[in-house]
Structure 1
Amino acid sequence: DEAGRHELERLRAELAEARAQTRTENERLRTELDAARKDAESLQRKLRSAQSDVKRGEAALRRSGSEIEAARADAAARVAAAESESRRLKARLGEAEAAVEAGRRAVREGRSVEDMRLRLLLDTVLDAAQGLRRELALPPVTSRPADSVDAVEPGTLSPKDVAARALSDTDPALLDQLLSLPQAHLVVDGYNVTKTGYPQLPLEKQRLRLLGGLSMLAAQTGAEMTCVFDGAELAAPVLLAPPRGVRVLFSKPGVTADEVIRQLVRAEPSGRPVVVVSADREVADGVARSGARPVASVLLLKRLSRV
């Protein structure tokens, strides 16, 4: 019994010591568990914060991507606009260069036309002066002041006699007289003449008959001759070889032969003798205002019947 009691006390002391150690270990473990829980909570807070940061970063990245795409689209639009503006400026530059070149060419051509008109007028004046010199056949200067007195000398015509010998407007000799002037230009209203003289013929034969007569008249008189036909109603170009000495023109679509004749008269220098053959009173009045001499179509037909 004594030994049993000692053994029991020893066991109780060991049990108490074990219980004390267990309590101490439990306290330590509780403390470590609380610290671990606190660390876990701290880590969870940090994780949530990191996740928030990641989400914010992803949102910022998406916004940056959108801004980059918008910037690229804007840059592409600006580049396209710049290229379009560059092409437009190049086109305007080409148009400006073409306009400058056309202006230079027009100036050169205008100067050439003016030079031609001036030279033609000068030739007309010189030929007229030479014609007057031949016509008057002036002797060497041997006149006296008394010779300048206005009077009728024996054997000369009075003014009334001169007026009596003036040619009629229906006399074909009047056309010869007009075409004998220096640098004379005869402009003929083609269909107006042919439809007056031989309307029963087809248009092709009308043209050939008139142009043949004008060619012979040009060879006889040496005058410049232009025959204008109305080409506004033509379905196709006319295959026609102009005869020698005669210029043949057809009016463009929308333009009448009368307008072409008026343009020809206006193109001549002032002072050059221009004769226009037409039975159209409007054409005759218009060319007369421009300085040309209108004659009737019948007069030319009479003159050509003598060729």
Structure 2
Amino acid sequence: MEQPTGGAGPADAADGTAESLDRPLPEGVRHKVVALVSDAFGGLTVGELPSQLRQYARFTPSRRAKFAGNAMAAALESDPVFRRRIGERIGQTQPELAEALESGAPPAAADPVDVAAAAYVLRPAGWVKLVAAAGEEVQRAHAERADEETRRELERLREELDRARGQTRADTERLRSELEAARKETDSLHRKLRSALSEVKRGEAALRKAGAEADTVRAESAAQVSAAESETRRLKARLAEAEASVEAGRRAAREGRSVEDMRLRLLLDTVLDAAQGLRRELALPPSSLRPADGVEAVEPGRMSPKDIAARALSETDPALLDQLLALPQAHLIVDGYNVTKTGYPQMPLEKQRLRLLGGLSVLAAQTGAEMTCVFDGAELAVPVLLAPPRGVRVLFSKAGVTADELIRQLARAEPPGRPVVVVSTDREVADGVAKAGARPVASVLLLKRLSRV
């Protein structure tokens, strides 16, 4: 933006105000002059404006000051008529300031920049001094502000320096402590390293000793193996000789026995003929007793579950379970989850229980046997609301007691001699109930029997 120099025009000379500035306007005064011209600009008609400023007639004062500042400053300096019109607008908007400047006594309380800007436009007597004084005042204010800012910056830098020094001292102390700790740690690691090296050396020595001992043992083992192989070969040779002798003896025995067999057969035929003749002579009826009748055994209807195992039935034949349950006062104990997870593990636990208990209820009605189904209560997050089916006792193990242990307790509670059948594939359960006198059967046996229900 051009700096108005304040040179006097023809009108200035006519008014007797031929004073002029010998230096550029101070920056603050120049901005204030542009602002005054921009505000007064809007009160003039287009015809009253210089030709170079007419294109800015419709601009707002702020846009006019931004885009037409240089043009307005040049027109104000070179066009006395335009400057007089601007001065008239200032006299209308700020009459007190304009009258004070015309009288040569500007208000003491007024801003020097405002006074200098108005004086530059109105050009009263002594306006150059007013502008110069305003410039000096602005420079002095700027210098004071710069000094104040410099002082504050210096104080801030001093405070930062003090903080930095304190932080440096703290960091130095911390680093010294860390260095001392690291030195102690290094010494400890060195001691541990020396100890580890000593251990390694002792281990290597022990390893070499063990290797030497292993070589010795290996050599002795090789010698013993060689001796054993020699002995084995010698024994094999003797065994072959013994086998040859046995075979020769067998041949000789077969040749001698053939004669003895013929003589014995002839004697047996003679005895049989004599016995038949004696039977006819005595008119003895055929005997109804047989040797097997003299062997002690349990009569039919009094068999125990262990006696059923002697029958010619497969361990997975459902007929075996029917025979066991047909025994008097039979008691069937079922490992519930062992059976359900063998037969239908994909179903939820609730449906597994209902399906098994339904089949046991029908089986109890068909056989009349006592039935108890045991489930593991540890797998249940909440108590089970279950109505036991008719003819089936349903038990859940207590906290800290497994279903396997509950089944063994039930088997031990029965009196000796009562038929007790336990259904479980768990080998530990089967062995435990077998010691108590019960008959264990596999879960698949019950599943096959229930499939026929």
TM superposition score normalised by structure 1: 0.48
Higher relative contact order (CA 8 A, sep 6+): 1
Structure with higher Rg: it is: 2
**TM-score normalised to structure 2 length:** 0.33
